[in-house]
Amino acid sequence: MLKLIIKKLFVYVKPYIKYLIISSISMVIVGGLTALVAYLIKPVLDDIFISKNKQMLVLLPIAVVIVYLLKGIFTYLQSWYAAYVGENILFKIRNDLFECMSMLSLDFFDRYHTGELISRVMNDTGMLQEVVARTIPDAIRESFTVVFLLIVIYMNNVKLALISTIVFPIAIYPLINLGNRLRKIGKKRQETVAMVTTILQEAFTGIRVIKAFATEKKESKKFEQKGNDFLKINLKSVRVSELVSPLMELIGAIGLAFLIWFGGYLVFKGTITVGGFFSFVVALFMLYKPFKSIARAYSKVQAVLPAAERIFEMMDRKATVINKKNAIEFIELKKGINFENVSFSYEDKKVLKDINLFIPAGEIIAFVGESGGGKSTLMDLVPRFYDINTGCICFDDTNVKDFELSSLRRHIGIVSQHTFLFNDTVKNNISYGMDGKVNMEDIIKVSTAAFAHDFIQKLPHGYDTVLGEQGFTLSGGERQRIAIARALLKNPQILILDEATASLDSSSEEIVQKALNTLIKGRTTLVVAHRFSTILNVPMIVVIKDGRIIDCGNHQELFDRCDYYHKLYKMQFKI
């Protein structure tokens, strides 16, 4: 898995190779200069303090200052270029992840909670960012330092070096064991983060429902419980990762004790000078820090691997609704939309069964039935939000799957019961998706036609008023009229009204209905009806029950012959 992740990361690293080369050269120089500091201990002791060489008394202090100056310069260069590359890589990964997720089909978003998706985009990439931008570059730099310090150690005394460096292989096994444990803990940690994010997202999005039912304490308790799970996993991760340091220190202490005894023995015999021995000891002590950093980096990488796996697993997903090869552009609906033996299932649940229906171009067709009968699902198939299981949907004589998706959806407008407005200005909400191709006059024109211009002018900054999250500063009727203005500006050939007035009061419904009457003129319109009063004059009403079409006709025909329609009508008007 690590090799696969490295391979995927390399695609993002490739554009920054020249910066990595500069960073790598700087790493090598820093490693060499660090080792040179340890090496200088030998001449300082032997030439100055023991031999009392006056020339060296001047030269060696200057050399020390120059070494540290150069080390500081190249440490900065290494850190800057490594961070620059790392931050840019993660910026690109986060953007690509969001783009990949946004391109997936609706069935994907039906399966995953919004909070979990937010967690993948923000938390998972955040963990990867820390490792790629800082931990790994630091570990590489420290690896060069280890190599050069080992050279200094072996230059001073091979026997002493061989005995001392036995300690490091002994330390590898427990580090690998701890790393594997951290990887498992890391996976659980990311899953818990996703759950906590989900609870937060639900709480903030559904705050009105929470307030209405006075369940603040309940939601706080739920958050506390999941937060407690997160706390336990974090503490477990800390407990395991913090074992690295004392374990390294214990192994190092054992090695140091033996080193002092054996090194002193060699000095007594005259095999090694006092300066050489102290240079060796300093190099060994300096070796401890980079080796410890590498060990910690290994632990961090193991802990972050699950996050990387989740990121690339998500980026590898493919949309289920895609353009076929040589897809054609949808230009105009001339004859109509034809459903031929259409069936559709959400996973194992069959929602639509053997739908046969022809919708003439330019006509208004209404759909009625109890909630859960399949009306909204049928509407979702028209813009091809989902692909059907069996049968065929044709626009004129062309299968809907033959059209290029974006061109098809550009000609379809949707106004639903649950209007979504962005946290942006009124102007930008109305012109959403038009890519700056409209002017203010067009926006005012469609707003006036949608009976929205008057209330928009009364807003604090008119069309430049920022609506806030989902436009909750507006009433339901006002949000619907902005949605209608947006649909008018899009000027679609095909219009879907999915219970567009279902949640409105009578006065708001009346205004919105007037706006809808303006919107539907000259368009092929599919209306999912909540209130029968809005469709009594529609020439064709389709009755849907349990995913099947059981009858079609105008209101009077259905009222006279369709018992189910009669029942629905009586229930609403309490006849």
Record the tokens describing residue 65, joined without a space: 């200052």
The half-sphere exposure of 1 on its side-chain side, counting CA atoms within 13 A, is: 14
Query: What pLDDT score does 70 carry?
Result: 93
> Using CB atoms within 10 A of its CB, is residue 371 exposed (0-12), middle (13-18) or buried (19+)?
exposed
Q: Cα angle vertex 447, ends 446, 448, to 5°? A: 90
DSSP 554: -
pLDDT tens sequence across 431-467: 888 876 788 998 998 888 888 898 899 999 999 998 8
Each domain of the chain, given as residue ranges in start order, spans 2-183+242-315, 362-378+410-573
Closest CA to 30 of 64, 85, 73: 73
Q: Who has greater pLDDT, 50 or 1?
A: 50
pLDDT tens sequence across 478-494: 888 888 888 888 888 99
Query: What pLDDT score does 436 carry?
Result: 66
Q: Who has greater pLDDT, 195 or 364?
A: 364
pLDDT tens sequence across 193-242: 777 777 777 777 666 567 666 777 877 887 888 778 878 887 877 777 77
Query: Phi first, then psi: what are they for 406, rounded to 5°?
Result: -65, -35
Closest CA to 418 of 532, 535, 527, 504: 504
Mean pLDDT of 242-249: 68
Query: What pLDDT score does 394 carry?
Result: 95
Query: What pLDDT score does 271 carry?
Result: 76
Mean pLDDT of 104-122: 82
Question: Is residue 431 helix, strand or coil?
Answer: coil
Distance CA 464, CA 467 (A): 9
Asked if 532 contacts 335 with a C-beta cutoff of 8 angstroms, the reply is: no
Mean pLDDT of 241-248: 69
400, pLDDT greater than 60: yes
Distance CA 457, CA 463 (A): 7
Asked if 237 contacts 182 with a C-beta cutoff of 8 angstroms, the reply is: yes
Mean pLDDT of 303-312: 82
Average pLDDT value for the chain: 82
Strands 390-395 and 494-498: unpaired
Considering 154-158, 203-207, 379-383, the range whose residues carry the highest mean pLDDT is: 379-383
Distance, CA of 137 to chain centre: 24
Helix (H) or strand (E) holding 414: strand 412-416
Query: Residue 494 pairs with which residues in a beta bridge?
Result: 412, 524
Least confident among 159-163, 337-341, 439-443 = 159-163
Closest CA to 243 of 169, 179, 165: 179
Query: Residue 552 pairs with which residues in a beta bridge?
Result: 542
- AA identity, residue 527: V
171, pLDDT greater than 60: no
Length of the chain measured in residues: 575
Q: Who has greater pLDDT, 160 or 466?
A: 466
pLDDT tens sequence across 54-110: 788 788 888 888 988 998 999 899 888 888 888 888 889 888 988 888 888 888 888
Query: What pLDDT score does 502 carry?
Result: 63
Query: What pLDDT score does 146 carry?
Result: 84
Query: What pLDDT score does 505 carry?
Result: 62
The model's confidence at residue 335, banded by pLDDT at 50, 70 and 90, is very high
Considering 183-197, 277-291, 416-430, the range whose residues carry the highest mean pLDDT is: 416-430
- Could you tell me which residues come within 8 angstroms of residue 188 by beta carbon, excluding any fewer than 6 positions away? 233
DSSP 85-138: HHHHHHHHHHHHHHHHHHHS-HHHHHHS-HHHHHHIIIIIHHHHHHIIIIIHHH
Strands 494-498 and 364-368: unpaired
Other CB atoms within 10 A of residue 72 CB: 12
Distance CA 476, CA 485 (A): 14
Query: What pLDDT score does 573 carry?
Result: 63
pLDDT tens sequence across 341-357: 999 998 778 899 999 99
Q: Who has greater pLDDT, 198 or 26?
A: 26
Asked if 243 contacts 171 with a C-beta cutoff of 8 angstroms, the reply is: no
Mean pLDDT of 149-175: 70
DSSP 407: H
Record the tokens describing residue 304, joined without a space: 């972050």
Asked if 417 contacts 512 with a C-beta cutoff of 8 angstroms, the reply is: no
Q: What is the arrangement of strands in the sheet containing 364-368, beginning at the earlier edge strand? A: 412-416, 494-498, 524-528, 364-368, 540-545, 548-553
Query: What pLDDT score does 343 carry?
Result: 94
Query: What pLDDT score does 504 carry?
Result: 64
Query: What pLDDT score does 209 carry?
Result: 64
Query: What pLDDT score does 167 carry?
Result: 58
137, pLDDT greater than 90: no
Asked if 113 contacts 97 with a C-beta cutoff of 8 angstroms, the reply is: no
Asked if 483 contacts 474 with a C-beta cutoff of 8 angstroms, the reply is: no
pLDDT tens sequence across 295-305: 777 777 777 78
Q: Cα angle vertex 380, ends 376, 381, to 5°? A: 120
Asked if 568 contacts 368 with a C-beta cutoff of 8 angstroms, the reply is: yes
Record the tokens describing residue 117, joined without a space: 């998706």
Distance CA 339, CA 151 (A): 78
Q: Cα angle vertex 127, ends 122, 129, to 5°? A: 90
Name the CATH superfamily for 2-183+242-315: ABC transporter type 1, transmembrane domain (1.20.1560.10)
Query: Phi first, then psi: what are they for 171, rounded to 5°?
Result: -75, -20
> 3-state SS of 236-271?
HHHHHHCCHHHHHHHHHHHHHHHHHHHHHHHHHHCC
The model's confidence at residue 338, banded by pLDDT at 50, 70 and 90, is very high
How large a percentage of the chain has pLDDT more than 70?
89
What Å distances lie between residue 418 and 37, 173, 506, CA to CA?
69, 58, 17
Query: What pLDDT score does 23 carry?
Result: 87
> Using CB atoms within 10 A of its CB, is residue 425 exposed (0-12), middle (13-18) or buried (19+)?
middle
Name the CATH superfamily for 362-378+410-573: P-loop containing nucleotide triphosphate hydrolases (3.40.50.300)
DSSP 403: B
Query: What pLDDT score does 401 carry?
Result: 93
Closest CA to 124 of 4, 304, 316, 317: 304
Considering 150-164, 299-313, 440-454, 460-474, the range whose residues carry the highest mean pLDDT is: 440-454
Query: What pLDDT score does 544 carry?
Result: 93
pLDDT tens sequence across 520-539: 888 899 988 877 877 888 88
